[in-house]
Amino acid sequence: MGTVKVEEVTKRFDKLVAVNHLSLEIPQGSMYGLLGPNGAGKTTTIRMILNIIYPDEGDISIFGQHISEEVKDRIGYLPEERGLYTKMKVSELLLFMAEIKGVPKAEAKRRVGYWLERLELADRAERKVEELSKGMQQKVQFISTVLHDPELIIFDEPFMGLDPINTDLLKGIIVELKKRGKTIVLSTHLMEEVERLCEHICLINKGEKVLDGRLGEIKQRYGKNTVVMEFEGDGSFLHHSPLVKKVDDYGNYIELQLKKEDSYPQLLELAAKSVKLRRFEVVEPSLRSIFIERVKGENG
């Protein structure tokens, strides 16, 4: 069952087609990665899902119905462009946000206290938002997104501006929310985070869907011709080999895409003659390499 269903949706801004006949379905209880280069149409798609802007064509349903005020109260949204009432105290702001979403006052106080402790902000509760660092403001915005216990939570670049410690803190909470049955939509340019967190992904480029499905199945589909190598010596032969389609050099290892799936025995033989091999492994490709391959292919 899909929590969100987008069917043949198109959005134009004057002559620019921002989203073009896009269809996708976000399974209930899933962690869903919405990916694409800058300007691909990700944020426009999210805003249409939330009814902030309206599609010119197509249909969108959430929880099996068109969006309404009741449906909106079941959604949490962390926008890429942050927006907080910076003159308010942190605790006042969060209580205000909870009340807007219909949380009873006593319960709102309990939840605010819990989340401030959880995100290590309890000692900042009586400070004005404008007095906090950007990272702390980001955590306040995160709390406001989940405070009303929504069923569907959409995070647009949730780790932006956070240091590694706070990134890990938020990642852990997002995983917990998913384990509690929440449907999570994660829109980010951090491929490694999507790879670790998401079961399903959708890649959008130039407003159109170019890849969609379970991450494991997608990686299997692209993984039959991917080899990782570590070695000592001059690897320039790889750039000229007729067996090799693409070389990605990550410094301490090299990831190769072969032109043919069954050519890795020949590559192994060639490499053994040319360099001192430490590692030669046929692997699933990284999501980053799949992303680059598909986007470059679409862009010609």
Spatial strand order of the sheet with 57-62 comes to 16-27, 2-13, 57-62
**Exposed e or buried b for every residue in 269-282, given b needs 16+ CB within 10 A?**
ebbeebbeeeeeee
User: What is the predicted pLDDT for the residue at 146?
Assistant: 97
Q: Which of 159, 141, 154 is nearest to 82 (CA)?
A: 141
Q: Positive or negative, the Cα torsion across 73, 10, 154, 202?
A: positive
Fold agreement (2-219, 224-298) = no
Question: What are the structural domain ranges in the chain?
Answer: 2-219, 224-298
The 3 state secondary structure assigned to 201-218 is: EEEEECCEEEEEEEHHHH
Query: What sign for the dihedral angle of Cα 190, 193, 194, 195?
Result: positive
Task: Report how far residue 99's alpha carbon sits from residue 219's, in angstroms, rounded to the nearest whole number.
Answer: 44
Was domain 2-219 assigned CATH 3.90.550.10? no
Query: pLDDT at position 83, please?
Result: 76
300 burial (CB, 10 Å; 0-12 / 13-18 / 19+) is exposed
What percentage of residues in the chain have a pLDDT greater than 70? 98
- DSSP tag of 261: G
Class for domain 224-298, per CATH? alpha beta
Q: How far apart are CA 282 and CA 255, in angstroms?
A: 10
How confident is the model at residue 259, as a pLDDT? 87
Query: Is 16 buried (19+), middle (13-18) or exposed (0-12) by CB count in 10 A?
Result: exposed
Supply φ then ψ for residue 281, to 5 degrees: -140, 130
d(CA 300, CA 283): 26
What is the structure's pLDDT at 299? Answer: 62
With residue 97 as reference, give the H or E element that holds it.
helix 90-100
**196: nearest Cα among 165, 182, 169, 175:** 175
In angstroms and rounded to an integer, the radius of gyration of the C-alpha atoms of the chain is 23
pLDDT of residue 39: 87
**pLDDT tens for residues 158-216?**
998 889 999 999 999 999 999 999 999 999 877 888 888 999 999 999 999 999 999 98
Q: What is the pLDDT of residue 300?
A: 54
Structure token digits, residue 148: 């009303």
Say if pTM beats, i.e. exceeds, 0.75. Answer: yes
Among 25, 14, 1, which Cα is nearest to 209's? Answer: 25
115: Cβ contacts below 8 Å, ≥ 6 apart: 94, 143, 146, 147
Q: List, as one string, the DSSP characters of 26-85.
A: EETT-EEEEE-STTSSHHHHHHHHTTSS--SEEEEEETTB---HHHHTTEEEE-SS----
Q: Residue 284: its pLDDT value, please?
A: 78
Phi/psi at 150 (5° precision): -70, 155
CA distance 288 to 292: 6
Residue-wise pLDDT for 286-297, tens only, equals 888 888 878 776
List, for the chain, all residue ranges whose pLDDT scores fall below the cut of 70.
1, 223-224, 297-300
Q: Around 102, how many Cα atoms within 13 Å sit in the side-chain half-sphere?
A: 9
